[in-house]
A and B are shown apart, each in its own frame.
Chain A
Amino acid sequence: MTGLDLVGHVPPCPSCGAPSPGSTLVCLVCGSVLDEPAHANHFTRLGIDPLVPFDAADAEARYIRLSRALHPDHHGGTDADSQFAAVELSAKLNEAYTTLLDEQRRHEYLLSLLDPDALEKHKTLAPDFLMEAMELSEELEDARTRGCRATIERIASLAKDEIDERMKNVTMACRHTMERIAAQQAHGNGAGGVPSRPLTLWNTDKIATLLHQARVYRRILRDTQR
């Protein structure tokens, strides 16, 4: 059992029993620092549901509340051990926030939770995609040397569209995968049987490919801004 249905699940606070403590790092209701459950991840640390469209303002508000609850400036007492613990917890929170704030990293992270090896395994991109990307890069390079702003802007907007489309598809595919896993596990658990693994990961290769393609377009987009 990988507990994949739990990707965004924050269990009740083991200390005060509050049904939604807001994070697996610390209970925002009673202030207790928690022992993280095995499935804890960046989503549970910030209390963000990966199936709900990402809201940057909401994420920031959560991050600030959690920082106040964990930062070594406010917590950790005087002795070296508890100071060190507070530093570790804050570092975990910062890592979670930075990862989720960035659209590409957030999706790559989500994929790694569904299938840890997918991104590494499906690195190879189709020759025709690479050819197209290369032509676009060359066109950009040419426009840059000629100082042709109109072409640069057209390429930037094209790259943005390509990225957006892929991110939309990635979100959809992730959601689909998680829903299937959840349903399958509910079924599997109910029957007391073992879920059939290959079925659960049916489209993580496609997600990985979309993410790699998005990386290529992001590189082009960055070059348009240089």
Chain B
Amino acid sequence: MTDPDQTSDIVIGIDLGTTNSLAAVVGKEGPRILHDADGRALIPSVVSFLDGGARVVGSKARAMSVTNPRRTIHSVKRLMGRGLSDVAAELPRLAYEVTTDGATDLARVSVDGRLYTPQEISAMVLTEVKQVAEAALGRTVEKAVITVPAYFDDAQRQATRDAARIAGLTALRIVNEPTAAALAYGLDTSREGTVVVYDLGGGTFDVSVLKITQGVYKVASTSGDTHLGGDDFDNAIIDRILELVAAKTGYDLKVHPQALQQIRLSAESMKVELSAGETSTLEIELDAGEPFRFTLTRAEFEDLIRARLDETIACCKAALADAKISTGDVDEVVLVGGSTRIPLVRRMVEETFGRTPHTELDPDRVVALGAAIQASVLAGGNRDLLLLDVIPLSLGIETVGGAFAKLVTRNSTVPCRAKEMFSTSVDDQTAIDINVFQGERELVRDCRKLGAFKLRGFPPMPAGLPRVEVTFLVDADGVLTVTAKEQRSGAEASIDVVPSHGLTRDEVKGIIRESIAKAREDFAHRELVELRNKAHNLVVGTKRVLAMPEMPFTDAQRDDLHSCIAELERLSHGDDAKALSKACDAFGEKTQALADEAIGAAIKAELNKELGRLPS
């Protein structure tokens, strides 16, 4: 069953994080993290747009967040597959602008008047990761396993797949982060039994309960919150600072992007400091040169974040209940994600499960390592391991009165499928509209709309007679595809899916086309710059020659050259690369001929001088 083409391909694992992203690969020695030329593994998931359409990604971009706040995009993962209304609460704290295109609610990032989808920004981060991996491996990389939070819904998973496609990567599999972490830990110790993975990252929280038997990692249940992580703890500190500054001076720093960004970075380092130390102090200078000093103790910080951490513990209990086990049945607890370095997190997890959690592997790298292991399974290099993951949220459709009919219940092992019969309510109706939702509530208005589709193409029949069988298939990535068939006519009913918070296939294709066009545009721009340089050199050189008194040019030749120079200068200020290129070539030929003539004349003169000295 092993395809030789596939085994010879390299597949990397990518942890596409809210704060940082990184890649890993399985080599002969086992899984390893890939580093850039400076030895860094973590690539900040930040994109900064510069003047003239250029951009930087990673640590360079992160360094620009204070000087270039409105054009430096961080934490874009929180916008993936979301609508503007979903993320409204966090917008005031972002220094960059998030808006919509007016036609759909899909959140878009606005930079210098151009709108970017979160997928495009993510693709820029992925491209950077891909380049780092290619440099480290010395070969091109086209395939990857990319991790997402287990609690990502269908739209968020689709968005991640689309980002990969835009970045020129085939996402062979979307793997849940806690599952990947379990894989990395399991490989380390070949452990068996029931494992709970508590994954608190920069922007998301997941908990998964897994049963490991003979290399099979079966996820029993998962729970989480895609908007709970280190960013929220930073925000708690930021809010506290803003509050104190406002109380003390009356300034509203929220309207100063640069100050806000500065405070964001300070809040983050205070949080990090408080994991080791007992207090952390911030000193900043406000507008009027007035110093502002703020000290936070660890106990105060813990009070700021305790309510959010209680939510994570509630998720843990829900996951155990869904897996039909109690804390006593848990053999191991594993901590993943940078935020699990916070001592209070460790304490609360330990209290909940009554055991010391595992922290041996670097919580920032374990997910990428696990992704690499799964990548090696998919590349055909490892048949001992098998991941059986679940869908985190129930899938269903809208029925009469806005009720939510679940077709696939949460925590069903993927791949899974469900079939449902639909019929018409009016005679000769040839199309049926179906709305697909994801969530756990009774009414669709409390669930998340994934999209709408229209069944069409079946023959007109009396009401209720058509029997359209719709199959909902959730693949191993947890992504839904819908197919339909009219049973009486046997006709394949065609489906147009309109995603609510994602991109259609055509839109993704459009973005890819555009990025190729953009690459051409960049190339054309570079060409123009080179031509301008060339023209400049020609003009300067010619002027210098014209200034030489010994040059035997006629007045007509001088006038001609001056008008040619004027023409070149005029074209250099324009954008017409073709005309400039032509003019440069023509000018080059002309000056070459003149130079030949001039040199010829100069040589003749020199020769004559020489000849004159010769005795006759």
Interface residues of A (CB under 8 A from B): 31, 60, 64, 67-68, 71-75, 77-78, 87-88, 90-92, 94-95, 97-98
Judge whether A67 and B3 touch: CB under 8 Å.
no
Q: How far is the CA of A43 from the CA of B265 in the complex (A)?
A: 59
Judge whether A94 and B386 touch: CB under 8 Å.
no
Judge whether B214 and A64 touch: CB under 8 Å.
yes
A-B contact pairs, 22 of them (CB 8 A): A64-B214, A64-B216, A64-B386, A68-B216, A71-B476, A73-B377, A73-B386, A73-B476, A74-B1, A77-B1, A77-B3, A77-B6, A78-B6, A87-B473, A88-B473, A91-B416, A91-B417, A91-B473, A91-B474, A94-B412, A94-B415, A98-B416
Which positions 352-401 of chain B face chain A at CB distance < 8 Å? 374, 377-378, 383, 386-388
Q: Which of B218, B387, B415 has the most CB of A within 10 A?
A: B415
Consensus secondary structure, chain A interface = helix
Judge whether A91 and B387 touch: CB under 8 Å.
no
Chain B residues positioned under 8 Å from A95 (CB to CB): 416-417
Judge whether A73 and B378 touch: CB under 8 Å.
yes
For residue B443, CB closer than 8 A to chain A, the reply is no
Chain A residues positioned under 8 Å from B416 (CB to CB): 91, 94-95, 98
Judge whether B216 and A94 touch: CB under 8 Å.
no
Q: How far is the CB of A42 from chain B (nearest CB, A)?
A: 13
Q: How far is the CA of A94 from the CA of B476 in the complex (A)?
A: 12
Using CB atoms, name the residue of chain B closest to A64.
B216
Q: How far is the CA of A95 from the CA of B418 in the complex (A)?
A: 9
Known: A73-B173, A87-B415. A67 touches B216 (CB 8 A): yes
For residue B213, CB closer than 8 A to chain A, the reply is yes
For residue B285, CB closer than 8 A to chain A, the reply is no
Chain A residues positioned under 8 Å from B387 (CB to CB): 73
Q: How far is the CB of A56 from chain B (nearest CB, A)?
A: 12
Q: How far is the CA of A78 from the CA of B416 in the complex (A)?
A: 20
For residue B414, CB closer than 8 A to chain A, the reply is yes
Chain B residues positioned under 8 Å from A75 (CB to CB): 1
A-B contact count (CB 8 A): 64
Judge whether B415 and A72 touch: CB under 8 Å.
yes
Q: How far is the CB of A152 from chain B (nearest CB, A)?
A: 18
Instruction: Please tell me the number of chain B residues within 8 Å of chain A, measured between CB atoms.
Output: 26
Q: How far is the CA of A67 from the CA of B386 in the complex (A)?
A: 8
Q: How far is the CB of B370 from chain A (nearest CB, A)?
A: 14
Judge whether B414 and A94 touch: CB under 8 Å.
yes
Q: How far is the CA of A60 from the CA of B377 in the complex (A)?
A: 22
For residue B5, CB closer than 8 A to chain A, the reply is yes
Using CB atoms, name the residue of chain A closest to B211.
A60
For residue B440, CB closer than 8 A to chain A, the reply is no
Chain A residues positioned under 8 Å from B173 (CB to CB): 73
> Mask for B460-494, Cβ within 8 A of A = 1, else 0?
00000000000001111000000000000000000
Chain A residues positioned under 8 Å from B160 (CB to CB): none
For residue B20, CB closer than 8 A to chain A, the reply is no
For residue B413, CB closer than 8 A to chain A, the reply is yes
Chain A residues positioned under 8 Å from B377 (CB to CB): 73-74
Q: How far is the CB of B558 from chain A (nearest CB, A)?
A: 69
Q: How far is the CA of A68 from the CA of B474 in the complex (A)?
A: 19
Q: How far is the CA of A215 from the CA of B383 in the complex (A)?
A: 42
Which 6 pairs of residues, A with B, have the shortest CB-CB distance?
A: A91-B415, A91-B417, A87-B415, A90-B415, A94-B413, A87-B475
Which positions 413-461 of chain B face chain A at CB distance < 8 Å? 413-417
Chain A residues positioned under 8 Å from B414 (CB to CB): 91, 94
Using CB atoms, name the residue of chain A closest to B476.
A72
Q: How far is the CA of A31 from the CA of B1 in the complex (A)?
A: 10
Q: How far is the CB of A226 from chain B (nearest CB, A)?
A: 11
Judge whether B388 and A67 touch: CB under 8 Å.
yes
Using CB atoms, name the residue of chain B closest to A87.
B415
Known: A91-B473, A94-B416. A78 touches B383 (CB 8 A): no
Q: How far is the CA of A64 from the CA of B213 in the complex (A)?
A: 9
Q: How far is the CA of A31 from the CA of B2 in the complex (A)?
A: 13
Chain B residues positioned under 8 Å from A67 (CB to CB): 216, 386, 388
Choose from B3, B5, B218, B417 the contact partner of A88 (Cβ within 8 Å).
Answer: B417
Q: How far is the CB of B604 from chain A (nearest CB, A)?
A: 74
Q: How far is the CB of B13 from chain A (nearest CB, A)?
A: 14
Q: How far is the CA of A88 from the CA of B476 in the complex (A)?
A: 10
Q: How far is the CB of A33 from chain B (nearest CB, A)?
A: 10
Using CB atoms, name the residue of chain B closest to A76.
B1
Q: How far is the CB of B308 from chain A (nearest CB, A)?
A: 26
Q: How far is the CA of A73 from the CA of B217 in the complex (A)?
A: 13
Using CB atoms, name the residue of chain A closest to B374.
A73
> Mask for B1-21, Cβ within 8 A of A = 1, else 0?
101011000000000000000
Q: Which of B1, B386, B414, B476 has the most CB of A within 10 A?
A: B476
Q: Beyond A72-B415, A73-B386: 18 further Cβ-contacts under 8 Å?
A: A31-B1, A64-B216, A64-B386, A68-B216, A68-B383, A71-B386, A73-B173, A73-B374, A73-B378, A73-B387, A75-B1, A77-B3, A77-B6, A91-B417, A94-B415, A94-B416, A95-B416, A95-B417
Chain A residues positioned under 8 Å from B213 (CB to CB): 60, 64
Q: How far is the CB of A65 from chain B (nearest CB, A)?
A: 10
Q: Which of A31, A64, A87, A97 has the most CB of B within 10 A?
A: A87
Judge whether A87 and B476 touch: CB under 8 Å.
yes
Q: How far is the CA of A87 from the CA of B479 in the complex (A)?
A: 12
Chain B residues positioned under 8 Å from A88 (CB to CB): 415, 417, 473
Q: How far is the CA of A226 from the CA of B6 in the complex (A)?
A: 50
Chain B residues positioned under 8 Å from A90 (CB to CB): 415, 476
Which positions 516-538 of chain B face chain A at CB distance < 8 Å? none
Judge whether B413 and A78 touch: CB under 8 Å.
no
Using CB atoms, name the residue of chain A closest to B411.
A98
